[in-house]
Each structure stands twice: as structure tokens, then as C-alpha cells.
């Protein structure tokens, strides 16, 4: 389960899709998709299989096909500026140097989509960022990573119901003793 820090968004989608019994993953929209329902809301989970710098092409293709406005799109991604295991949800905003978010902004023509920011921590020095982000989680990280991903899947009905604050609170409560 525990892999590269930059892939924590994909890891979250895998756990959500499994917990909520989504369809098997299949190739579509320059990525892989799984479909399901969470709390009565139809969900399309998309993992772009492009380079990170071009992931917006995959998101834009799916959004155009399903006629999804940006406010109906949620990106799950790693966040250097949050402590490991912490989570924040926000709509719009800057990319903080995240090339995947920058690509989505560019391809959708707006930054007005939801972001689930999952903290991976900062290595302390700018020159160590690339190695940190592209490196695998350490064995000591396994407990908090699994706890965070399980909490995200358990709280997903709140996110699907457009209750981001309640979603964040539930994730924090479920991970309180494990992070």
C-alpha cells in the first residue's frame, strides 16, 4: 500500500473505490476510471496516466465528455506545506508549484475546482523537495498513511454531499490517535 509520496492522491482514489465498491478500473480519457456511487451521488474516479505535467488533459477530456463544470471536480493531491497526515479541502486557489494542479488549471481554464490536500510534510530544505516528493513513504509512515486513506474513504459520503468542513472534521477525528 505505501508507495511514492507524489502518488498519495491515486492511493486515496484506490481506497475510496474499493471501500465504496466502484466498478473495476478501465482505460479511458488518457487515464483509468472507476465508476460508483457514494451517498447516492454518482462518482467518476479518474487517475490520469499522462505525465504529471499534462494530467489536465485527462481531466479536461473527462469533464468535457460528461459536461462537468469545474466546481464538480475534486483533485486529490500531495501537499508539501501540510504536516504528514493532515488534510485540508479548499476550492480554487493557487497551485503552490504542483505541476498537476497547474496543468488542470490550464486545461479547464479556471482554478475553480475542489482540492483535497493531503499532507506529506516538507523535508526542510528546498533542494531536498524533489527527492522527498518522488521518494517512497518510509516504513514508519505506514500507520498514518493507512489511517489517513481509510479515514478519507469513510468520510467520502460527506465530501460527495458537498460538506467539505464536515469531511475534514471526520477525517481529523478518525485519524486523531494514529497521526
Nearest residue to 91 via CA among 4, 158, 164: 164
Whether 177 has a pLDDT exceeding 80, the answer reads no
What pLDDT score was predicted for residue 130?
Answer: 81
- DSSP state, residue 35: E
Collapsed DSSP state (helix, strand, coil) of residue 146: helix
**178 burial via Cβ count (<10 Å: 0-12, 13-18, 19+):** middle
Tell me if 133 sits within 8 A of 99, measured CB to CB: no
Q: Among all chains, which residue has been given the C-alpha cell 468542513?
A: 165
Domains, the chain, ranges and CATH?
A: 5-175 (3.40.50.1470)
pLDDT in tens, 53-97: 889 999 999 999 999 999 999 999 988 889 999 999 999 887 777
What pLDDT score was predicted for residue 126?
Answer: 84
Least confident of 132-136, 147-151, 172-176: 132-136
- Please give the distance of CA 139 from its chain centroid, rounded to a whole number: 21
Q: Which residues are catalytic?
A: 6
Kindly state the cell numbers that stand for 97.
508549484
Tell me if 92 sits within 8 A of 125, measured CB to CB: no
pTM greater than 0.95 (yes/no): no
pLDDT in tens, 103-115: 988 898 877 899 9
Whether 50 has a pLDDT exceeding 70, the answer reads yes
Amino acid at each position: 500500500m505505501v508507495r511514492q509520496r507524489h502518488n498519495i492522491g491515486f492511493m486515496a482514489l484506490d481506497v475510496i473505490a474499493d471501500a465504496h465498491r466502484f466498478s473495476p478500473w478501465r482505460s479511458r480519457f488518457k487515464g483509468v476510471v472507476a465508476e460508483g456511487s457514494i451517498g447516492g451521488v454518482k462518482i467518476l474516479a479518474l487517475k490520469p496516466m499522462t505525465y504529471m505535467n499534462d494530467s489536465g488533459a485527462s481531466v479536461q477530456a473527462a469533464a468535457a465528455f460528461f459536461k462537468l463544470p469545474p466546481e464538480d471536480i475534486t483533485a486529490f493531491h500531495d501537499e508539501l506545506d501540510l504536516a504528514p497526515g493532515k488534510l485540508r479541502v479548499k476550492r480554487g486557489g493557487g497551485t503552490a508549484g504542483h505541476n498537476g494542479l497547474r496543468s488542470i488549471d490550464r486545461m479547464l481554464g479556471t482554478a475553480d475546482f475542489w482540492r483535497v490536500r493531503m499532507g506529506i510534510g516538507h523535508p526542510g530544505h528546498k533542494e531536498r523537495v524533489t527527492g522527498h516528493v518522488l521518494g517512497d513513504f518510509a516504513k514508519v509512515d505506514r500507520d498514518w498513511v493507512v489511517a489517513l486513506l481509510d479515514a478519507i474513504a469513510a468520510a467520502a459520503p460527506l465530501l460527495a454531499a458537498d460538506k467539505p468542513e464536515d469531511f475534514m472534521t471526520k477525517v481529523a477525528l478518525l485519524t486523531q490517535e494514529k497521526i
